[in-house]
Amino acid sequence: MPQLRVGLAQINPTVGDIDGNRARALEWCQKAADSACHIVLLPEMWLTGYPIEDLALRESFQMASERAVEQLAHDLVAANLGDIVVVVGHLARSEAEQKLGVPAGAPQNAASVIHQGKVVARYAKHHLPNYGVFDEFRYFIPGNKPCIVRVCGVDVALAICEDLWQDGGPVARVAQHGAGLLCVINGSPFELDKEDARAELIARRAREAGTAIAYVNMVGAQDELVFDGDSMVVNSSGELIARAPQFEEGLMAVDLDLPAAPAAAVLRDGTEVSIISEWPVQPYRPLRSTISPRLDDVAAQYRALEIGLRDYCNKNKFKSVVLGLSGGIDSALVATIAVDALGAANVYGVSMPSEHSSDHSKSDAAELASRLGIHYRTVAIAPFVKAFEDSLELSGLAAENIQARARGVTLMAISNQEGHLVLATGNKSELAVGYSTIYGDAVGGFAPIKDVPKTLVWEMSRWRNAYAVLQRRTVPIPVSSIEKEPSAELRPGQKDSDSLPDYAVLDALLDAYVEQDLGHDALVAAGFDRALVDRVLLMVDRAEYKRRQYPPGTKISNRAFGRDRRLPITNRWTEPTQNH
Amino acid sequence: MPQLRVGLAQINPTVGDIDGNRARALEWCQKAADSACHIVLLPEMWLTGYPIEDLALRESFQMASERAVEQLAHDLVAANLGDIVVVVGHLARSEAEQKLGVPAGAPQNAASVIHQGKVVARYAKHHLPNYGVFDEFRYFIPGNKPCIVRVCGVDVALAICEDLWQDGGPVARVAQHGAGLLCVINGSPFELDKEDARAELIARRAREAGTAIAYVNMVGAQDELVFDGDSMVVNSSGELIARAPQFEEGLMAVDLDLPAAPAAAVLRDGTEVSIISEWPVQPYRPLRSTISPRLDDVAAQYRALEIGLRDYCNKNKFKSVVLGLSGGIDSALVATIAVDALGAANVYGVSMPSEHSSDHSKSDAAELASRLGIHYRTVAIAPFVKAFEDSLELSGLAAENIQARARGVTLMAISNQEGHLVLATGNKSELAVGYSTIYGDAVGGFAPIKDVPKTLVWEMSRWRNAYAVLQRRTVPIPVSSIEKEPSAELRPGQKDSDSLPDYAVLDALLDAYVEQDLGHDALVAAGFDRALVDRVLLMVDRAEYKRRQYPPGTKISNRAFGRDRRLPITNRWTEPTQNH
């Protein structure tokens, strides 16, 4: 059987940085050539980054992406890399569709195959995801032609991301033809348990098609999304041969013995195979491939948050962050993630005690800062609060909110003065029920744990401390921050449990309502207390306006607030009870 | 020719208020029966409201919508309204699709035809818009069958909104059959010049199909969208016969002489016509129909803003609003819109002068409040600013922003204490270039003029004053607010023109970049100064993070910030220059 060495470039693009992504494509092709790969795969939409949202519709951007493909082909030859077959994802202008009455240059999500300075074949994604965080029907004209190139005597077919997930489509057609390898380039974002679903799917499709599959996914973050890599290769029996480490940039070179191309160089539907090289390479000693272990759930989610924050800062050119340290667990976890993402020298903690702040709040905040080694200062908010209270007659919630807003103004002032990005420290449970002060604790350019329910905040904190013990490093989070009863400390003796149920119950209910979209009756049938269901659903529905103005943050769950769950603000719907 | 009296119910639903919308459907059917209509058309997605976003995917909501259809059929009979043929839009669960492997109950955007207590026919929208503000591929399974009912001897075909805009599809098929009337139910949002496009389209389709068209659209607002009604009827030659007033709720009853139904009660594709009544009614004396005049552009946009704000308040149960009055034109226009929307008694103006506020700012704010007759108070922000400045060492932008944020905190405190909705007063030009302070002047639950460029702010203000003169009422906006040079007054002698170009130039450039999506080279080719293009594009691109946290506001342009223009925050793209 012919041999083929496939390079999977599991790498991190930057949206809009077409020149930079092109330059980095060349670097990774050089690495693949250094590893003697015959073909190298770069991720979906590599040259533009992903997702690019409405940039896809801008003609100047489409043209720049097309120019970058040509330029890359040229640069590869200039760098003596003309021999390696390069598969790269990019935004394309469709010439074919132009003839069918669609506007000239209607965009496609495409992969070009480059060899010897030329684009020898091009594939356009057939199946456009338009659910969850995806809006690809808004942007792309679907492709409808398979694409096969013959490389070293092996027929290699292309597919892009969703094409693999949908039954039928290009995968089925290339299987009929007898392709030896299916290469799938991806921009597949992380969410909990997705890596298992991916591995199972890839193995199943390989068995269905009787074709080995090389699956490459990008890494890094773009606004709310984190891409976890998890690139892999399976053989035609669906056996896993190689798997890359999650979340890490790198080139994985994998050797495969593949069936020789069929005699016919034309598919049943008339599509011609693009011939790059008809003849197998001389037999060689294959590399040993590696199957990297998966991270466990909490570790993977923590790592996603760390990368989400790091890339938001790096790609938006923020060097440092500032956040309020309350002594509670949320801000402690965010500070720890920030240190892991950016280094302690780039993290600025601010304690902003009020008259209602307990002693342990102040000491726990200081203790956290000391353990993490971050910059730390105290700004008393009493004078600000007093100035507002002297002038405005406030009581109840209005008075409580003034404290949170004085803190928000303080953090923004420090940010404006010193140039740090402000981090909001709210968790998903609070965001769900509206347990936050808009323009108060909700201020920030980024909200690292907005998709982390409170119970997972505790679990992650315990995990991170245990990890430090294993690493023989300083345990970052004070135990008392983990174990104390949660309180916003906006009035004397206030506890979260005054107005919210136990977080274990609340989070289970929120998971069922927000992530699984169960209605009232289904929630009661699932065992939740009817009165609690009524109360919590109303809180969640009424807090939509706050969520709309909340900063972006990394998605790690199956349904994050934001682009993943889109509800109207004006919404009189209340879940009907059984007696309705 | 058989006669038919068609009732077009141009009415205002509330998203999620299925019970309320159903009850109001019954009321309007009663009015249609009182006017002796044979058939009455209610708008697209009437029972659920529109757009419902991810509510469409929730099973409990789908079930409630289906129950409401059944209940309405039952209620009509109970109210002795069984004879009238009712066409009503709603969210449907698709039984047919269930068999094709799509999840049970996959939702459709449907119209049911109700007669004598039964749903006699159902149509599902074929063409799902998925551009601009629309995401219907996310929600709905497209229909693929035409729907024709025979009413009083006339074959009446159904279509929903986008079905009319797309070539081919159900309109072409019903024309082949020889339907006498095409009824199109709509949820078509207002934007500038759309009413002309609609009228032209409807006339063209009528001529193409040789069929009269009755087009009914909803009125009222839902979050960012305003529906302007503009319901109309054209005959089979495309002549306009009747047109309803824009933006106003009402029933328009129109008499038509229509061709008798063809002998065949089956379409070429096998679809059966649902027979409600084979025989024409006894000849009667037709009503005289009215063609209401259109509002001019500025008047229509002003009215859209007024309704956008009124419905946001009404449907979210806010009785009153509060806003800062700076003496400038933006807050003056917003206050005037608020008075028109909610009445002066429900509008609370707050002057919040700082040391940099000019005398005319304070006097113009007071003068405006007096002219409008709204509640008015002054809160000096100097003590708040001083408290922050005493504690934090601030300079430059950080010091300027403290003033804006002290005002934001003040407005939110009044809102929390007194229950008013806070209005943000920023205009589209400022929002575009980021000329606002996040958590400062950007605070608010709603931003009435966020889609109004500064030059249109002036034009609208002059128009509103002139309108008051025509009406012999108090001219609301002080002339000096219109004529003074714009300034944020955050530092001594500051003027907008220090950092921004002339607004006439800026707005033209923003229109070309934001609404028309032109790239750098096209902008320069259109005559804009190259250096200005570079500077403004960078400002617009960098302000994306601020826009993401800005309150919602009414869309009146062809491309509003928000759901209409979706760009990543993390975005290194800079428009290439010609030499690139």
pLDDT digits (tens, 9 = 90+) for A322-344: 999 999 999 999 999 999 999 99
Confidence class of residue A578 from pLDDT cuts 50, 70 and 90? low
The answer, for A1 touching chain B at a CB cutoff of 8 Å, is: no
C-alpha closest to that of B121 among B298, B272, B290: B272
| CA–CA dist B528, B521 (Å, integer) | 10
- The proportion of chain B whose per-residue pLDDT surpasses 90, expressed as a percent, equals 85
Looking at residue B287, the DSSP 8-state letter turns out to be P
Instruction: Give the span between the Cα atoms of B549 and A444, in whole angstroms.
Output: 10
CB under 8 Å to B167, separation ≥6 — which residues? none
Nearest to B412 among A60, A64, A401 (CB): A401
* Partner-chain contact B384 A380, CB within 8 Å: no
Q: Do B15 and A570 touch (CB under 8 A)?
A: yes
Q: Give yes or no for a contact between B198 and B229, defined as CB atoms under 8 angstroms apart.
A: no
Quick one: pLDDT at residue B172? Answer: 80
Structure ipTM: 0.94
State the number of CA atoms in the 13 A half-sphere of B174 facing the CB. Answer: 33
Instruction: Please tell me the distance from the alpha carbon of residue A297 to that of residue A285, in angstroms, as a whole number.
Output: 37
Residue A219 pLDDT grade (very low, low, confident, very high; cuts 50, 70, 90)? very high
* Chain pair A-B, CB pairs under 8 angstroms: 225
Partner-chain residue, chosen from B412, B414, B439, that has the shortest CB–CB distance to A443: B439
* CB neighbourhood size of B316 (10 A): 17
CA distances from A459 to A332, A482, A488, A508, B300 (A): 13, 9, 20, 15, 55
**Which of B513, B548, B556 has its CA nearest to residue B532?**
B513
Query: Residue B386 above 70 pLDDT?
Result: yes
Rounded to whole angstroms, the Cα distance separating B445 from A480 reads 38
Average pLDDT (B523-552) is: 96
Can you give the pTM of this predicted structure?
0.96
Instruction: Determine contact, residues A367/A350, Cβ cutoff 8 Å.
Output: no
Average pLDDT on A386-411 reads: 93
Q: Which of B211-225, B486-500, B510-524 has the lowest mean pLDDT?
A: B486-500
CA-to-CA separations, B519 to A54, B231, B535, in angstroms, rounded: 13, 37, 13
CA–CA distance, B43 with B47 (Å, rounded to integer):
9
A402/B contact by beta carbon, under 8 A: yes
Instruction: Give which of A45, A63, A41 is closest to A53, Cα–Cα.
Output: A45
Q: What is the arithmetic mean of pLDDT over A420-445?
A: 97
The pLDDT assigned to B99 comes to 47
| Least confidently predicted of B33-37, B151-155, B270-274, B430-434 | B270-274
Categorize the per-residue pLDDT at B578 as very low, low, confident or very high, splitting at 50, 70 and 90: low
For chain A, what percent of residues have pLDDT higher than 90? 85
Percent of chain B with pLDDT over 70: 97
A443, A408 Cβ separation under 8 angstroms: yes
Q: What is the dihedral of CA A330, A331, A332, A338, to 10 degrees?
A: 110
Distance from CA of A432 to the nearest CA of B (A): 16
Chain A contact for B515 (CB, 8 A cutoff): no
A100 touches chain B (CB under 8 A): no
Of B160, B152, B175, B171, residue with least CA distance to B258 = B152
Q: Are A494 and A356 in contact (CB under 8 A)?
A: yes
Whether B380 has its CB under 8 Å from any CB of chain A: the answer is yes
**Which residues in chain B are contacts of A54 at CB distance < 8 A?**
565-567
Q: Is A525 on the interface with B (CB under 8 A)?
A: no
Give the sign of the dihedral formed by CA B538, CA B540, CA B546, CA B548. Answer: negative
Average of per-residue pLDDT across A153-166? 94
Tokens of A158: 């292309």
CB contact under 8 A, B519 and A60: yes
A378 touches chain B (CB under 8 A): no
Nearest CB partner across the interface for B59, out of A223, A519, A573? A519
d(CA A200, CA A205): 9
Backbone phi, then psi, for A311, in 5-degree steps? -70, -35
3-state secondary structure of A115: strand
CA distance B527 to B509: 10
Residues 6 or more apart whose CB falls under 8 angstroms from that of A455 comprise A429, A503, A504, A507
Which are the contacts of B168, defined by CB distance < 8 A and separation ≥ 6? none
pLDDT band at A168 (very low <50, low <70, confident <90, very high): confident
pLDDT of residue B15: 98
Helix (H, G, I), strand (E, B) or coil at A509: helix
Average pLDDT over residues A236-244: 97
Rounded CA separation B24/A437 (Å): 37
> In this complex, do B570 and A59 lie within 8 Å of one another by their Cβ atoms?
no
pLDDT at B580 over 60: no
The answer to whether the peptide bond before residue A259 is cis (omega within 30 degrees of 0) is no
**What's the rounded Cα separation, in Å, for the pair A360 and B568?**
41
Rounded distance between C-alpha atoms, residue A459 and residue B507, angstroms? 51
Q: What is the mean pLDDT of residues B285-303?
A: 96
* Residue in chain A lying closest to B406 (CA): A409
In eight-state DSSP terms, residue A261 is: P
A397, two tokens? 């919630």
Position A574 scores a pLDDT of: 87
- pLDDT the model gives residue A106: 86
Find chain B residues with C-beta within 8 A of A445's C-beta: 545
B146 has pLDDT over 60: yes
- Across residues B478-487, what is the average pLDDT? 92
Q: Which residues contact A40 (CB under 8 A, 6 or more apart)?
A: A6, A7, A8, A9, A28, A29, A32, A33, A84, A85, A86, A87, A251
pLDDT level of residue A99 (50, 70, 90 thresholds): very low
* Mean pLDDT, residues A270-293 taken together: 95
Residues 124-143 in A contacting B (C-alpha not used; CB under 8 Å): 130-131, 135, 137-138
User: Which residues are registered as beta bridge partners of A487?
Assistant: none
Cis bond upstream, residue A51 (ω within 30): yes
How confident is the model at residue A580, as a pLDDT? Answer: 44
Q: How many other C-beta atoms can be found within 10 angstroms of the C-beta atom of residue A292?
A: 17
B residues 559-578 near A, CB within 8 Å? 565-576
Burial class (CB in 10 A: 0-12, 13-18, 19+), A288: exposed
User: Which entry of A44, A97, A136, A367 is annotated as an active-site residue?
Assistant: A44
CA A212 remoteness from chain centre? 27
Mark whether B37 is an active-site residue. Answer: no
Q: How many CB atoms lie within 10 A of CB B112?
A: 25
Strands A421-422 and A321-324 turn out to be parallel
Using a CB–CB cutoff of 8 Å, tell me whether B14 touches chain A. yes
8 Å CB contact between B177 and B262: yes
- Residues B28-66, buried b or exposed e (16+ Cβ, 10 A)? bbbbbbeeebbbbbbbbbbbbbbbbbbbbbbbbbbbbbb
pLDDT at A225: 98
Its sign, for the CA torsion B101, B107, B110, B114, is: positive
What's chain A's Rg over C-alpha atoms?
26
Tokens of B503: 């607004």
> What mean pLDDT is predicted for residues B215-232?
98
User: Residue for token digits 């934090």?
Assistant: B392
Q: Which of B66, B97, B125, B575 is catalytic?
A: B125
CA A464 to chain centre: 21
Q: How many angstroms away from the CA of A121 is the closest CA of chain B?
A: 27
Measured between alpha carbons, how far is A364 from A328 in angstroms, rounded to an integer? 8
Nearest to A571 among B16, B131, B393 (CB): B16
> Does A485 have pLDDT greater than 60?
yes
Of the partner residues B222, B386, B519, the one whose CB lies closest to the CB of residue A568: B222
Q: Give the bridge partners for A86, in sequence order.
A: A40, A114
> For residue A130, what are its two tokens?
């338009």
Q: Is A392 on the interface with B (CB under 8 A)?
A: yes
Chain B CA closest to residue A48? B573
At residue B168, the pLDDT reads 73
For residue B436, what are the contacts with CB-CB under 8 A and spacing of at least 6?
Answer: B404, B426, B430, B442, B546
Angle, alpha carbons B198-B199-B205 (nearest 5°):
85
Is residue B325 over pLDDT 80? yes
Given CB atoms, is A438 within the 8 Å cutoff of chain B?
A: yes
Q: Is A551 on the interface with B (CB under 8 A)?
A: yes
A194 three-class SS:
helix
The pLDDT assigned to A96 comes to 58
* Helices and strands of chain B, counted as H and E runs: 20, 19
The whole-angstrom separation of Cα B530 and Cα B523 is 8
The C-alpha R_g of chain B, in whole angstroms, comes to 26
Spatial CB neighbours of A37, under 8 Å, sequence gap ≥ 6: A5, A6, A7, A84, A253
As given in the structure block, the two tokens for residue B348 are 């609370």
Q: Is B59 one of the annotated active-site residues of the chain?
A: no
pLDDT in tens, A352-381: 999 888 888 889 999 999 999 999 999 999
A37 a catalytic residue: no
CB A123 within 8 A of CB A173: no
Give me A349's structure tokens: 């903690």
And the tokens for B24?
Answer: 């109001």
Interface contact B459, partner A, CB < 8 A: no
What are phi and psi for residue B473, nearest 5 degrees? -115, 170
Q: A39 and A255 in contact (C-beta within 8 Å)?
A: no
B122 - beta bridge partners? B112
Chain B residue at shortest CA distance from A553? B569
Is the per-residue pLDDT at B10 higher than 70? Answer: yes
What residues in B contact A15, CB-CB < 8 Å? 568, 570-573
